[in-house]
Amino acid sequence: MAEIRAVFWDIGGVLASNGWDREQRRAVLQQFGVPADEFEERHELVFGTFERGHMTLDEYLDRTVFSRSQNFSHEQFKAAMFAQSKPNPEALAVAREVSASKKYICATLNNESRELNLYRIEQFGLKEIFTVFVSSCYVGMRKPDEAMFRLGLDLLQVPAAEACMIDDRALNLESAKQLGIHIIEFKSADRLREQLREVGVEVRPAMSAVNGD
């Protein structure tokens, strides 16, 4: 097996909670008393454009939440959106360890809108871990587009056989696998350590493995 030189990481559902997925939307809509049905219909129409970086967060909110007058502000709603983002410290520790070894180039390969992506990069200290951010909002593509994985490989200048992709969604991993990228379906930080070791990435074993549980 070719040695792994590049590790691509999803962010939402791996290194942190999802940014603006169904559960985050439900919580924030409830908080502001916005009817979900109407919102979701509008969200469906624009979220692809939004996540590909062709629409600002304010424009997105104008099209979804503020298509009618509301008794709260864009800023209040945005603060609630951002507050939904929570880190996964154990998974972040694995990413930090892989990156600190200097044996691998680490990049994100994630679907996120620009403002939320930036918030999460800063909030979770991702610039200290990752060299490149292949984020949908910067590259104008979304997973599972095969083209996005190809771009990731081109940017890092590694062949597919020397790369692995970590994602919590099996559907996103299908096209990466088609290209010959090693795939890791994220379940937990402990399991991730095992999965990385299985593809030859040097990382400490999970504590449960050390303790023999």
Tell me 206's DSSP state: P
> Rounded to an integer, what distance in angstroms lies between the CA atom of residue 169 and that of residue 59?
28
With respect to Mg ion, which residue has the nearer C-beta, 62 or 145?
Answer: 145
Of residues 66 through 85, those in contact with Mg ion by CB under 5 A are: none
Least separation, in Å, of the C-beta of 120 and Mg ion?
12
Angle at 187 between CA 119 and CA 165, to 5 degrees: 65
Q: Is 13 in the site for Mg ion (CB under 5 A)?
A: yes
Lateral strand order in the sheet of 105-110: 132-135, 105-110, 6-9, 163-167, 182-185
Q: Which is nearer to Mg ion, 115 or 168 (CB)?
A: 168
d(CA 37, CA 44): 11
12 three-class SS: strand
CB atoms within 10 A of CB 93: 13
Q: How far is the CB of 18 from Mg ion (least distance, A)?
A: 6
Q: Which of 7, 8, 12, 94 binds Mg ion (CB under 5 A)?
A: 12
CB of 40 to Mg ion, least distance (A): 19
Query: Which of 34, 47 has the CB closer to Mg ion?
Result: 47
**Residue with smaller CB distance to Mg ion, 10 or 162:** 10
Closest approach of Mg ion to the CB of residue 211, in Å: 29
Q: Which member of 6, 9, 10, 34 binds Mg ion (CB under 5 A)?
A: 10
- Residues binding Mg ion: what is the number (CB under 5 A)? 4
Does 19 sit near Mg ion (CB under 5 A)?
no
SS3 for 95? helix
Question: x/- string (CB under 5 A) for Mg ion, residues 136-175?
Answer: --------------------------------x-------
**Position of tokens 């439900």?**
26
Distance CA 164, CA 180 (A): 9
Residues that bind Mg ion in the complex, under the rule CB under 5 A: 10, 12-13, 168
